[in-house]
Amino acid sequence: MTHTWQITSVDDAARARIAAARLAAEHGVSTLERTRLVTALSAQLRQCLVKGGHWRLTLRTTVPSAAGDAGRLTVTLDAGADEAGPNGACPNEAGSRPSWLASVGVPEPGHGNGAGPARVPRDRTAFADALLSADEDTSRVLDRLTEQERLVAFHREELHQTNQGVLALHAELDAADRVQRELFGAERKARTEAESARRRLTFLADASAALTASLNHEEILSRLPRLLVPDYARNVDVWLFADDSRARGRAAHPAAAVTAARTGRPQYAADHPSGLPGVDDQPPSALNPEQPLLCVPLPSRHTPLGVVTLTPPREPWSADDAVMLVELARRAGIAIDHAQRFEHNRDIAETLQRALLTDLPTTPGLSLAARYLPATHGLNIGGDWYDAFRQPDGGLVAVMGDVTGHGLHAAVMMSQLRTALRAYAVDGGTPGRLLTRLHVFLHHLQPDLYATAVIARFHPDETTVTWAAAGHPPPVLRTADGEVRVLDARPGAMLGIPLHQEIQDHTTPLPPGSTLALYTDGLVERRAEGIDPGIRRLAAALSGERAADLDHDLEGAADRILEPMLRDSQRDDDVCLLLCHIGGPHRADS
């Protein structure tokens, strides 16, 4: 269906605009599309009125078909085709203006006959009403726009609130992330510090074990630098006051080391503060101003023994490193002090023991050979001793004894027992009587100290030997024909135990050519097998000696007997051997 309007005035334009709006509404065009169409048409009509002349507006509608084809409302505005110009052109436009065309979809057919909506009343009042009512679509669109604006504002507020929540959540997540990173950093730092502390403690324990494993202070001094370089020091210098008179101690010492020796406090010499706990800061050393120094005293029970001076490794010392180094110096000082005391006591004990192990007497018809070997572990001085001396009646007493324990105290007690035994022997008495008196003496002199001993008495007018033992390994006798037997008659108990005892004498024939061996348990006892197998080995070694060698080379025989006996010994106890040989004629087969 087609409707046409000639536009020459404002009224014509208004009626055409009203007709277009009503026709679009009749065919169900949406308010928004209808408003867009009418607004665009109004703009074109305004231009036509401004330009003047004749214009033709055509409204053409096609309704939707049963086949599903969409309907259209097409609006055409062009110059009017009248008598004023050829080809239907407006004289004012001279046919040069192109047509304006717009269209909208028609969702449904019109509800009337198609003429009603296009008729616009000519009455001025009705026309004015129709013209004003044509803007109702615009009002509806504005209302819709207002609702949309309110909805947009609502959603904008919701979006703002959501954004605020998201921002707050992001802030919380960032804060949680920072806290987590801080916790991870703290955990890594704690783990690193724990590992460093474990490493320092392990080093301190291992270093302490290495320093205390030796009782030689020179060896301790040589181990200390090897322990510290290169992890905790680049260079280490140990200044031991007791060795300062030696050539190596005459070199100049840093002022900080002298201050550490005088005050007993660690000193740090550098051109900057150390910040180390318990360490005093000093100016740089004049000997080497560019090199920082840490001077730590080596303490003992009363005064420092020396000072150890360290130069830092690649990294400066931390506070924990300083604490560990001071503790290591303390332990090194204790180890050196113990070693020096041990060496002092060892020297005294060795001097005492050498003084006590006097030369053996010479007696016609009786040869003596003795060997004493100190233990190779510990103080090296024990309570083992041997002795031989004459009695007023011409007899000779041979003694083998062992005081429990080691060290200077055992050596002193051994000296007292030896002296007491010699004093008792001046009054005479048999071996059993001498041991009984020695037992009473030791019990009253030192109730918590014990000893073992064996005494053999030889007399030139007798072909026997009288002997007695108190808790001591039994003597071994070799006769001239090479037969060996152990004199294992019942001995007395150890000397000094809180027990009253009368130690018995035993007498054994001693023909010429016989050899009696007295010894201590260090010669025959082994931890893994006891004492009996060792006594059997001693008997075999003594039996293997030739009679002529025993007659003419008793000293050599003593060495030959010791050699197989000490082959498997750990030498953790003193070894003492005394051979007593009665001279006799040689046999042809010997």
CA triplet 139, 141, 146: central angle to 5 degrees?
95
Q: How far apart are CA 476 and CA 523, in angstroms?
A: 13
Task: Give mean pLDDT, residues 186-199.
Answer: 87
Predicted local confidence at residue 45, as pLDDT: 86
Dump the DSSP string for 267-295.
EEESSS----TT-EEEPPPSS-TTS-EEE
pTM: 0.53
Regarding predicted confidence, which is higher, 548 or 359? 548
Residue 467's φ and ψ, nearest 5 degrees, are: -140, 160
Q: Are 343 and 363 in contact (CB under 8 A)?
A: no
Peptide bond into 230 cis (omega under 30): yes
- 231-285 residue pLDDT tens: 889 999 999 888 754 444 456 889 999 999 899 999 999 988 888 999 999 999 8
Predicted local confidence at residue 506, as pLDDT: 96
Q: Does domain 214-350 have CATH number 3.30.450.40?
A: yes
Identify the top-confidence range among 301-310, 444-453, 539-548: 539-548
For residue 570, name the pLDDT band (cuts at 50, 70, 90): low
288 pLDDT above the threshold of 60: yes
- What mean pLDDT, rounded, does the chain reach? 84
Predicted local confidence at residue 431, as pLDDT: 95
Q: How far apart are CA 476 and CA 454, in angstroms?
A: 12
Same topology between domain 214-350 and domain 357-582: no
Predicted local confidence at residue 478, as pLDDT: 95
- The fraction of the chain above a pLDDT of 70, given in percent, is 86
Q: How far apart are CA 110 and CA 25, in angstroms?
A: 9
Dump the DSSP string for 530-542.
BSHHHHHHHHHHH
Q: How many CB atoms lie within 10 A of CB 524?
A: 23
Residue 196's φ and ψ, nearest 5 degrees, are: -65, -40
Q: How far apart are the first and last CA of the chain?
A: 164
Query: Which segments of 8-135 does DSSP mark as H helices, in order?
Result: 10-26, 31-51, 124-133
C-alpha to C-alpha distances, 589 to 484, 510, 547, nearest whole angstrom: 18, 21, 10
Query: Which segments of 517-590 does DSSP mark as H helices, in order?
Result: 521-524, 532-543, 547-552, 554-565
Domain assignments of the chain as residue spans, ordered by start: 2-134, 214-350, 357-582
Domain range 357-582, CATH class: alpha beta
C-alpha to C-alpha distances, 10 to 15, 104, 120, 586, nearest whole angstrom: 9, 25, 14, 174
Predicted local confidence at residue 131, as pLDDT: 65
Predicted local confidence at residue 126, as pLDDT: 62
Predicted local confidence at residue 588, as pLDDT: 36
Regarding predicted confidence, which is higher, 530 or 327? 327
